[in-house]
Amino acid sequence: MEDNTAQYEEDEELQPDPELIRKSQAELQEIRTNLDNLAHELQQIESGVIANKKQVLMTEENLTKAMLKIDSVESGGDVSIRNQRKELIGRAEQILEKVDDFKRRTKISFFSLPLSSYFSCT
């Protein structure tokens, strides 16, 4: 008679944890919403509704933070979570590319802002 215990244990290890998957999906949905907001913010910056150089750099920083957050979401071996992470990284990179293009066109850089804009004097 064969020992199926080892095979069963292997199959158990391959099954994604449903609770981890739910948590990861919720995290990814939150990130997706954040990316939507950042894309909208960038549209406002490009159209001139927001004319604050500092805001451009903050948008860029928030995109970088979003990418780090995406990277920290555990997939638990679930293919759909991995695919969602990949999709969101691609979306964040596209938005970041638009930020970089805007910065090039308008010559905005970290060094172009006055030092006082980084510190609040209260």
pLDDT-derived band at 14, boundaries 50, 70, 90:
low
φ/ψ (deg, to 5) at 109 = -145, 170
Q: What is the pTM of this model?
A: 0.74
pLDDT in tens, 28-76: 999 999 999 999 999 998 888 877 778 888 999 999 999 999 999 999 9
For the 28-107 domain, the top CATH level (class) is mainly alpha
Domain boundaries, the chain: 28-107
Percentage of the chain modeled with pLDDT above 90: 59
Torsion of CA 48, 37, 95, 79, to 10 degrees: -170
Residue whose structure tokens are 């919720």: 26
In terms of Cα–Cα distance, which of 37, 35, 55, 36 is closest to 45? 55
